[in-house]
Each structure stands twice: as C-alpha cells, then as structure tokens.
Structure 1
Amino acid sequence: MSIFDNLCIVDDDEVQNFIKQVSANIKKERQLKGVTQLELALMIGQKSSAFYANAENSAKNRRFNLEHIYKISKALNVDVEKFFASS
C-alpha cells in the first residue's frame, strides 16, 4: 500500500455541504444587517446582483471566493470567522 492511495481526504458531498454552510452564514449575516443582495453585490464590486444571488444560494455552480468573502466581511462589519462557523 502506498501513501498515495488515499490522497483525497474529503469527499465531494462534504465539500458541497461546507460551501452551502458558508453561503448560508453569509446570507444570515446580510439579512441581520438589513442589506439587500444588490446592495451587498455593489459593495463588493459586482456590477449586478446576479452572480451574488447565485453564489449566496449555491446556484448555477457559482461560489464565493476568498476575495468575495473578505470584502463581504468588511462590508457587513462582521468577523470573517463567522462565515465559517458550523450551525
């Protein structure tokens, strides 16, 4: 048995669940602050809410990247760690 036999330590479902949890946490914080998707999209440099809405809802294979998450935390004045908390 080689050390390379088990390189993938996380399955795809676990990754997808993690992404959905981060997106749900971002949505929760946005709603708590009373900010619309369009407002937050513009705050982080998006031209419209389409990408933002899809990323927040994990639709059409859209995802927030680290830059987005950092900008969202600054725009909402929330510690970035909150987005990674499990429920």
Structure 2
Amino acid sequence: MTSLSKEDFYKLVGKNVARLRKEKGMSQMKLSLEMGYESVSVVSSAEVCYRGKHFSLGNLYQIANILEVDICDFFIEDENEEGERSF
C-alpha cells in the first residue's frame, strides 16, 4: 500500500466496504441492523467519510464477519488504467 493521508485511507476503507457489501447483495439498512444499529446513518456516513465519520477497527471486524470476507479486503487499493489510485 502506498502512502495515503488519514482521510484518504478512511475513504479507501469506506469504498471497499460499500463495494463488498454490494457484491454480497446487502443493503446499508440490512448491514446496519446486523451490526446492531437502528438506522443506516453510521454505515452510510462511514462509507463516504461524511463529516469525518469512519469505521472503527471493531466495526470492520464485525462487518468482515457479517459479509464473510477477509478483513484485509477493506484495505486493498484499486488502480485505474493509468495506474493512478482510485478512492
């Protein structure tokens, strides 16, 4: 992984959570409920790093178990055709 600012790192993680959640066919609401929340605000805000909101390590552990993915998948950088990072 290349050097990222803290905010870019949070955006990368949020983007990967959203991508994996969608690949599993799970809505933000369903994921939120399975995490014990009553609304989508935590998940939706953290997926896009809205107002600095981001997932905690505990959240990521929980999400990885719910989605049945490796927690490391949240930290993978995506590169576009030009070899540039995409967040």
Structure 1 runs (4+) deviating above 3 angstroms are none
Instruction: Letter of the 1:62 partner, please give it.
Output: K
Q: 1:44 aligns with which of 28, 35, 45?
A: 35
The reply on whether 1:68 has 2:62 as its aligned counterpart is no
| Residues 1-87 of structure 1: pairs in structure 2 closer than 5 A | 14-87=5-78
Matched residue SS, 2:5: helix
Query: How far apart are the structure 2 equivalents of 1:51 and 1:22?
Result: 14
The alignment-based identity, stated in percent, is 30
Q: How many residues align?
A: 76
Task: Please tell me whether Structure 1 or Structure 2 has the larger radius of gyration of its CA atoms.
Answer: 1
TM-score (norm 1): 0.81
CA distance in 2, matches of 1:60, 1:41: 19
Partner of 2:84: none
Structure with the bigger percentage of strand: 2
Give the CA deviation at 1:86.
1.3
Gaps in structure 1 of 5+ consecutive residues: 1-9
